[in-house]
Amino acid sequence: MPSDDYQACIDACQACATACDNCSTACLQEDDVKMMARCIALDMDCAAICRDAAAFMARGSAFAAEICRLCATICTACAEECGKHLMAHCQQCAEACRRCAEACRRMAGAA
Protein backbone atom coordinates (compact mmCIF):
# COMPACT_ATOMS: atom_id res chain seq x y z
CA MET A 1 0.00 0.00 0.00
CA PRO A 2 1.55 3.33 -1.01
CA SER A 3 2.10 5.97 1.61
CA ASP A 4 -0.37 8.86 1.89
CA ASP A 5 2.34 11.14 0.49
CA TYR A 6 2.49 9.06 -2.66
CA GLN A 7 -1.26 8.51 -2.98
CA ALA A 8 -2.15 12.08 -3.99
CA CYS A 9 0.58 12.01 -6.64
CA ILE A 10 -0.48 8.55 -7.85
CA ASP A 11 -4.04 9.84 -8.20
CA ALA A 12 -2.84 12.91 -10.15
CA CYS A 13 -0.72 10.70 -12.43
CA GLN A 14 -3.61 8.35 -13.14
CA ALA A 15 -5.98 11.25 -13.85
CA CYS A 16 -3.41 12.82 -16.16
CA ALA A 17 -2.82 9.58 -18.07
CA THR A 18 -6.57 9.27 -18.63
CA ALA A 19 -6.85 12.89 -19.77
CA CYS A 20 -3.93 12.40 -22.17
CA ASP A 21 -5.50 9.24 -23.60
CA ASN A 22 -8.78 11.09 -24.09
CA CYS A 23 -7.00 14.06 -25.68
CA SER A 24 -4.93 12.02 -28.13
CA THR A 25 -8.00 10.07 -29.23
CA ALA A 26 -10.02 13.27 -29.66
CA CYS A 27 -7.14 14.92 -31.55
CA LEU A 28 -7.27 12.08 -34.07
CA GLN A 29 -10.87 13.10 -34.82
CA GLU A 30 -9.97 16.73 -35.56
CA ASP A 31 -10.21 18.00 -39.15
CA ASP A 32 -6.50 18.84 -39.34
CA VAL A 33 -4.87 15.86 -37.64
CA LYS A 34 -1.44 16.84 -38.97
CA MET A 35 -1.68 20.12 -37.03
CA MET A 36 -2.30 18.03 -33.89
CA ALA A 37 0.71 15.71 -34.36
CA ARG A 38 2.86 17.24 -31.61
CA CYS A 39 -0.09 17.27 -29.22
CA ILE A 40 -0.84 13.61 -29.92
CA ALA A 41 2.82 12.59 -29.51
CA LEU A 42 3.15 14.46 -26.21
CA ASP A 43 -0.15 13.01 -24.99
CA MET A 44 1.20 9.52 -25.64
CA ASP A 45 4.54 10.23 -23.92
CA CYS A 46 2.81 11.89 -20.99
CA ALA A 47 0.29 9.08 -20.47
CA ALA A 48 3.10 6.52 -20.51
CA ILE A 49 5.35 8.34 -18.01
CA CYS A 50 2.39 9.06 -15.73
CA ARG A 51 1.53 5.36 -15.60
CA ASP A 52 5.18 4.51 -14.95
CA ALA A 53 5.48 7.13 -12.20
CA ALA A 54 2.32 5.82 -10.51
CA ALA A 55 3.67 2.28 -10.62
CA PHE A 56 7.09 3.30 -9.22
CA MET A 57 5.38 5.11 -6.33
CA ALA A 58 2.98 2.21 -5.71
CA ARG A 59 5.98 -0.09 -5.38
CA GLY A 60 7.82 2.35 -3.15
CA SER A 61 10.72 2.29 -5.61
CA ALA A 62 13.94 4.05 -4.67
CA PHE A 63 13.74 5.64 -8.13
CA ALA A 64 10.24 7.11 -7.68
CA ALA A 65 11.50 10.65 -7.09
CA GLU A 66 13.65 10.56 -10.24
CA ILE A 67 10.77 9.24 -12.34
CA CYS A 68 8.48 11.91 -10.87
CA ARG A 69 10.93 14.67 -11.79
CA LEU A 70 10.93 13.42 -15.39
CA CYS A 71 7.15 13.04 -15.27
CA ALA A 72 6.82 16.68 -14.18
CA THR A 73 9.00 17.80 -17.10
CA ILE A 74 6.95 15.84 -19.65
CA CYS A 75 3.64 16.92 -18.09
CA THR A 76 4.73 20.55 -18.32
CA ALA A 77 5.64 20.15 -22.01
CA CYS A 78 2.31 18.46 -22.70
CA ALA A 79 0.39 21.16 -20.81
CA GLU A 80 2.14 23.87 -22.85
CA GLU A 81 1.29 22.18 -26.15
CA CYS A 82 -2.30 21.31 -25.25
CA GLY A 83 -2.80 24.80 -23.88
CA LYS A 84 -2.19 26.21 -27.38
CA HIS A 85 -5.32 24.51 -28.71
CA LEU A 86 -8.81 25.80 -27.96
CA MET A 87 -10.61 22.44 -28.07
CA ALA A 88 -12.13 21.41 -24.74
CA HIS A 89 -10.24 18.10 -24.69
CA CYS A 90 -6.92 19.92 -25.05
CA GLN A 91 -7.78 22.47 -22.37
CA GLN A 92 -8.88 19.71 -19.96
CA CYS A 93 -5.71 17.77 -20.69
CA ALA A 94 -3.54 20.83 -20.13
CA GLU A 95 -5.14 21.35 -16.72
CA ALA A 96 -4.65 17.69 -15.72
CA CYS A 97 -1.02 17.92 -16.85
CA ARG A 98 -0.43 21.06 -14.79
CA ARG A 99 -1.92 19.41 -11.68
CA CYS A 100 0.17 16.29 -12.22
CA ALA A 101 3.38 18.25 -12.80
CA GLU A 102 2.83 20.12 -9.53
CA ALA A 103 2.06 16.91 -7.61
CA CYS A 104 5.16 15.23 -9.04
CA ARG A 105 7.38 18.20 -8.19
CA ARG A 106 6.05 18.16 -4.62
CA MET A 107 6.58 14.43 -4.31
CA ALA A 108 10.08 14.54 -5.78
CA GLY A 109 11.03 17.42 -3.49
CA ALA A 110 9.76 15.56 -0.42
CA ALA A 111 11.56 12.31 -1.24
**Cα–Cα distance measured from residue 8 to residue 105, given in angstroms and rounded to the nearest whole number:** 12
Indicate whether 2 pLDDT > 80. Answer: no
76 within 8 A of 101, measured Cβ to Cβ: yes
- Cα distances from 67 to residues 31, 33, 44, 63, in angstroms, run 35, 30, 16, 6
Q: What is the pLDDT of residue 111?
A: 58
Of 5-9, 13-17, 68-72, 104-108, the one with minimum mean pLDDT is: 5-9
Confidence of residue 64 (pLDDT cuts 50, 70, 90): very high
The torsion region of residue 60 among left (phi > 0), alpha (psi -120 to 50) and beta comes to left
